[in-house]
Amino acid sequence: MNPKPTILVTNDDGINAPGIRALIEVMTTLGDVIVVAPDSPQSAMGHAITINSTLYLNKISPENANVVEYACSGTPVDCVKLAVNEILKKKPDLCVSGINHGSNSSINVIYSGTMSAAVEAGIEGIPAIGFSLLDYTWEADFEAVKPFVQKIAQKVLTEKLPEGTILNVNFPKLPQEAIKGIKICRQAKAIWMEKFDKRQTPYGKDYYWLTGEFVNQDKGEDTDEWALQNGYVSIVPVQFDLTAYHAIQQLNSWDL
């Protein structure tokens, strides 16, 4: 009999978020789980790493717990690096990140700490999945999506992911019976229209809050946005080779 797979769980909402609690619960049905997650929320951290300050790891699970948990002072990417190099000292069989409170579909993948943790694992050669639910609230209900999380993670454990890819999985905010199924998609060409909320400090100095509106002008039915709006779970295979291969020939004609 095969030994149980080792599964690394992380996120960007912080180790106490309900989303990671749901993910841990599902992963314990599939393997031996280790959790290394930020000790505080790290949303929108992108692929940031900590090079100009120190990193702390605090073991927060009791000695007899069946899931070992570490809270880390760094970013989601730091968590993956520390987990692999300092705690496990080997590559886990799977790395899962999330379940994020809020969408990481379309262009959000670029800003997402959840996805960057998964991408970091992918770079290190570890099969990896980022999971996100289209509900930004702390009170988000993850019950409906647990069977899908289990099915997708099980599939990644048994099949091989295509080389150099990780999965970006987003769930619509729907009751379980209303979810129509799973679609493999491309990233919709949507953008954020920024709007800064300009205010003044009590001392008269201007400052800004970043806000914005998500605008999707990509009507393709093969996109993650279409899938989510039509009641499907979206899976986008994501790559970390950012080369725009189609552009190389054009640039070669530039006579530089």
| Site for a copy of itself, residues 10 to 29, rule: CB under 8 A | none
Residues whose CB is less than 8 angstroms from the CB of residue 117 and which lie 6 or more positions away in sequence, other chains included:
10, 11, 12, 76, 77, 79, 80, 95, 97, 130
202 counts as binding a copy of itself under rule CB under 8 A? no
| Residue 240 DSSP symbol | S
Dist. CA 13–CA 11, nearest whole Å: 6
Binding segment (CB under 8 A) for a copy of itself, from list 26-34, 63-71, 129-137, 207-215: 207-215
> For the window 46-75, what string marks contact with a copy of itself as x by the rule CB under 8 A?
xxxxxxx-xxxx------------------
Contact 138, 125 (CB under 8 A): no
Q: Which of 67, 68, 179, 191 touches a copy of itself by CB under 8 A? A: 191
> Which part of the chain contacts a copy of itself (CB under 8 A), choosing from 16-24, 26-34, 63-71, 193-201?
193-201
Longest CA span, the chain? 69
- Which tokens is 154 given? 């099980």
| Per-residue x/- track, 132-171, a copy of itself (CB under 8 A) | -------------------xx--x---x-xx-xx-x----
Residue 172 · residue 158 · CB < 8 Å: no
Q: Distances from the Cα of 12 to the Cαs of 9, 18, 80, 209, in angstroms?
A: 11, 12, 11, 20
12 is in an annotated binding site: yes
The answer to whether 185 touches 224, Cβ cutoff 8 Å, is: yes
Give 17: exposed, middle or buried? Use CB within 10 Å, 0-12, 13-18, 19+.
buried
Residue choice 11, 43, 100, 132 for contact with a copy of itself (CB under 8 A): 43
Rounded Cα–Cα distance for residues 129 and 233 (Å): 14
Span interacting with a copy of itself, options 2-10, 24-32, 132-140, 234-242, rule CB under 8 A: 234-242
Question: Which of residues 20 and 118 has its CB atom nearest to a copy of itself in the complex?
Answer: 118
We find the least distance from the C-beta atom of residue 116 to a copy of itself, in angstroms, to be 6
Query: Taking CB under 8 A as the criterion, which residues in 75-94 touch a copy of itself?
Result: 77-78, 81-82, 84-86
Window contacting a copy of itself (CB under 8 A); options: 2-10, 21-29, 103-111, 134-142 = 103-111
Question: Does residue 101 touch a copy of itself according to CB under 8 A?
Answer: no
Determine whether the annotation assigns residue 132 to a binding site. no
Task: Output 66 or 246, the one with its CB closest to a copy of itself.
Answer: 246
